[in-house]
Amino acid sequence: MQTVHADYKKVNTAGGTAVAIGNFDGVHKGHKKLLSVLKEAACERGVPSVVYTFLEHPRNVILGEGSQKLIYENSAKEKFIGDTGVHTLFFEDFNSVRHLEAEEFVKEILIDKLNIKVAVIGTNGKFGKKSLGTSQMLKEFGKRYGFDVFVVEPVVIGDVVCSSTEVRAAIEAGDFKKCESLLGRPYSVRGTVVADKRLGRTYGFPTANIIPDQSQTDIKRGVYATNTHIGEKVYKSITNVGTTSFDNPEKLRIETHILDFSGDLYGKIIEVEFLCYMRGFRKFANTDELKEQLIKDNNEVRRMLV
């Protein structure tokens, strides 16, 4: 997949394009359905498929950084969209188009810059200044300016409409079974292992610690059964989201004890997959009490992750 950052000259538009419009935060099952429609439409017309999204979430540009917590950072979004097999991922600078009314956006961006032949958008998709452009309006513009429009209905799982909002809510609630059902894969956090006080080593449970990106949705504090990816290998693990038992309760981080692993991970990138919530955060009177609980957690994870 080709990734382009706000440079239309790098997009192959000579024969036209098929373009999907959206934020695609999380690249959940609803997004995958939309991208499947995009690929099929592009293939039928013999044009490249283009995913049009933004470098920064529009809400964070309009309301200020941190106003909208994200499911994944852009590098993860790029990976998951790339996995769908689309041709081009185009990251736009929102500030360069935020002033465009809906029809201006269609004419100046979709037609003049991307030479659009087919557009794909979700039922609730928005575009243009103040997000006043709707999927129905896009269909009308398509008829007016000569391009096809596919409006994709949302994916419903049980009684839940698959959306980025629902995924964020599941992460915040620590409901990673629901999260996986919406994403189609376990939710995961990647990060570089940082040096810490190494208290875990003193009682036989060393941890690999990563600091969550401040732009991402906050995970409910507690202890989770997880899988940890180190290079090509996957290990069962126990992850505490919150603080160490003896440290500043306001300093959030992710601490993972990796079962059946030994070695130095400082400075290396790991990926922690969250599978299910085990218990809440608690303080311990001493290290013996903490060690006893960690042994219980360790045995429970071994039983759960067979």
Domain CATH number, residue 32: 3.40.50.620
Domain of 72?
Answer: 2-157
Cα–Cα distance measured from residue 121 to residue 211, given in angstroms and rounded to the nearest whole number: 35
Secondary structure of residue 206 in the 3-state scheme: coil
Instruction: Calculate the CA 278 to chain-centre distance.
Output: 23
Place of tokens 């629902």: 166
Cα–Cα distance measured from residue 71 to residue 183, given in angstroms and rounded to the nearest whole number: 10
Q: How far apart are the first and last CA of the chain?
A: 35
Decide if 171 is inside a domain. no
Decide if 281 is inside a domain. yes
* Stretch 234-253: mean pLDDT: 73
pLDDT single digits (tens) 169-193: 999 999 999 999 999 999 999 999 9
pLDDT single digits (tens) 71-127: 999 999 999 999 999 999 999 999 999 999 999 999 999 999 999 999 999 999 999
- 3 class by beta-carbon count within 10 Å (0-12 exposed, 13-18 middle, 19+ buried): middle
Q: How many CB atoms lie within 10 A of CB 44?
A: 11
117 lies in the same domain as 191: no
Tell me what pLDDT residue 243 has: 61
94 lies in the same domain as 15: yes
Percent of the chain with pLDDT over 90: 76
pLDDT single digits (tens) 199-226: 555 556 788 999 888 889 999 999 999 9
Decide if 6 is inside a domain. yes
Residue 250 clears pLDDT 90, i.e. is over it: no
6 lies in the same domain as 150: yes
pLDDT class of 245 with cuts at 50, 70, 90: very low
CATH of the domain at 264: 2.40.30.30
CA dihedral for 80, 83, 84, 89, sign (positive or negative): positive
The CA angle 183-189-193, to the nearest 5 degrees, is: 165
Give kind and range of the element (H or E) at residue 270. strand 269-279
Decide if 173 is inside a domain. no
Higher pLDDT, 240 or 295: 240
CA atoms lying within 13 Å on the CB side of residue 26:
27
62 lies in the same domain as 141: yes
Domain count for the chain: 2
Higher pLDDT, 273 or 301: 273
Q: How many CB atoms lie within 10 A of CB 243?
A: 17
146 lies in the same domain as 209: no
